[in-house]
Amino acid sequence: MEKMTTWPTNTKEQPLIIAGPCSAETEEQVMAVAHQLKATDVSIYRAGIWKPRTRPGLFEGIGTQGLVWLQRVKEETGLRVATEVANKDHVQECLKHGIDVLWIGARTTANPFAVQEIADALQGVDIPVLVKNPVNPDVNLWLGAIERLEKAGISNPGAIHRGISPLGKSIYRNNPEWQMPLALKAQRPDILLINDPSHIAGNRQLLAGIAETALGLDMDGLMIETHINPDAAWSDAAQQITPKTLLGLLAKLKAKNQPTDTLAMADLNNMRSSIDYIDEQLIDLLSYRMQVATEIGQYKKRHGMAIMQEERWAELLTKHASQAASRNLNGEFVTQLFNSIHQESVNSQNQLSRK
Ligand code: PEP
Ligand code: MN
């Protein structure tokens, strides 16, 4: 199979699909998933060989022997193969084993020294590399990593949107923060942008909605973790799906993404997905606000303080009203909205104080 220098073509109707397990575990597992993904819409097979685990003592990847299994995947299925690299040794091992696509993980993107080491190891080798967004919400860090690779001669870098570590409780493992990929796309409309709903969701239930929003926002493709027996996976068990579930999900997404009769309908759909995305963010923010209000309630209870502090609330309302005016929002609407948000916080603090 010849060397891959560019991305497989992708269109709105046929986005680029990367799938495979979070981690390569055994040769049997790697081959079984690959054979089920052969001759489907999946064009690149992923498997983590060196795993960046947040806490020590967890499965840290099968190491170099897994690269031989990926070579076998290439030979037997014709799928291109991809894995994560975090240092120069990983890069060298991958190049030695004919890995087609490399990706830089979110924790690595956050470290310019590590990214530079990878870029240096790739000097003179033009291979497609995908850069995951850093774990912190910094678009420049993401762009910076892409630029370091380009300076080393990588002519086809791509980006993967995998969300941001949440500060407080969140329904997502990593908050999508859709404004990040949109900002990246605005600055670099020329590069491939893939969404990774698996690491955003952290569970199977939220996967489809995230994937749909990503395609609605015109991303070029999806990376979805796929395992032969997800519940028994050695890493990220809760978010992996079987190849069969993946194919069902892709078919549903395709049906939703049919070319529309008129341009106007397509535009309307785009605007609707922006509204969906904004509403999702509003709900996330409301949930975060309620959580902070509960913490404040607990503090007030411990210190015997009154729940309702009229002066502070009057001050906030004035601030909201002037901010609303500066953004061309109807002041009365904003005051009403905040009064009802505030009422809900007071109710929940009252409930706490009765406990
Ligand atoms: C992965 O893709 O398995 C992975 C470790 O992802 P991230 O770098 O996004 O955490
Ligand atoms: Mn994973």
Residue type, 264: A
- Identify whether residues 121 and 53 lie together within a single domain: yes
- Identify whether residues 280 and 155 lie together within a single domain: no
- Identify whether residues 175 and 51 lie together within a single domain: yes
Tell whether 1 is covered by a domain.
no
Among residues 194, 222, 256, the one where a domain terminates is 256
Tell whether 8 is covered by a domain.
no
Helix orientation angle between 139-151 and 112-122, rounded to the nearest 10 degrees? 20
CA angle centred on 164, ends 158 and 266, rounded to 5°: 60
Residue 272 has pLDDT above 70, yes or no: no
- Identify whether residues 170 and 48 lie together within a single domain: yes
Tell whether 3 is covered by a domain.
no
Task: Indicate which CATH number applies to the domain containing 273.
Answer: 1.20.59.10
Range 42-57 average pLDDT: 94
Tell whether 9 is covered by a domain.
no
Tell whether 4 is covered by a domain.
no
> What residues line ligand 1, using a CB cutoff of 6 Å?
22, 48, 52, 105-106, 132, 162, 199
Among residues 237, 256, 275, the one where a domain terminates is 256
Which atom of ligand 1 has the smallest separation from the CA of 46? 2
Backbone phi, psi, residue 193, to 5°: -125, 115
- Identify whether residues 21 and 110 lie together within a single domain: yes
Task: Indicate which CATH number applies to the domain containing 122.
Answer: 3.20.20.70
- Identify whether residues 164 and 280 lie together within a single domain: no
* Band (191; pLDDT cuts 50, 70, 90): very high
Among residues 229, 256, 283, the one where a domain terminates is 256
Protein residue with its CA nearest to atom 1 in ligand 1: 22
- Identify whether residues 203 and 244 lie together within a single domain: yes
Rounded-to-integer distance, Cα 196 and Cα 120, Å:
26
Protein residue with its CA nearest to atom 9 in ligand 1: 106
Rounded-to-integer distance, Cα 247 and Cα 239, Å:
16
Rounded-to-integer distance, Cα 52 and Cα 68, Å:
20
If one counts the domains in the chain, the total is 2
- Identify whether residues 39 and 185 lie together within a single domain: yes
Tell whether 206 is covered by a domain.
yes
Q: Nearest ligand to the C-alpha of residue 162? A: 1
Range 179-186 average pLDDT: 94
Whether pTM > 0.85 for this model: the answer is no
- Identify whether residues 245 and 308 lie together within a single domain: no
- Identify whether residues 104 and 186 lie together within a single domain: yes
Distance 280 CA to ligand 2 centre (A): 24
Q: Report the chain's terminal Cα–Cα distance, integer Å.
A: 67
Which position has the token pair 């009252």? Answer: 350
Residue 132 has pLDDT above 90, yes or no: yes
SS3 78: coil
Distance 197 CA to ligand 1 centre (A): 11
Contacts of 27 (CB under 8 A, 6+ apart): 69, 72
Protein residue with its CA nearest to atom 10 in ligand 1: 106
Distance 196 CA to ligand 2 centre (A): 10
Tell whether 2 is covered by a domain.
no
- Identify whether residues 311 and 348 lie together within a single domain: yes
Distance 269 CA to ligand 2 centre (A): 31
CA angle centred on 248, ends 246 and 254, rounded to 5°: 100
Which range of residues forms the domain containing residue 298? 266-353
What pLDDT is recorded for position 66?
Answer: 98
Which atom of ligand 1 has the smallest separation from the CA of 109? 8
Protein residue with its CA nearest to atom 6 in ligand 1: 105
- Identify whether residues 303 and 239 lie together within a single domain: no
Q: Which residues surround ligand 2, an ion (CB under 5 A)?
A: 22, 236
Ligand 1 pocket: which of 22, 51, 132 to mutate (most atoms within 8 A of CB): 132
Tell whether 7 is covered by a domain.
no
Q: Quick: pLDDT tens for 285-330.
A: 899 899 998 998 899 889 988 877 788 888 988 999 898 888 889 9
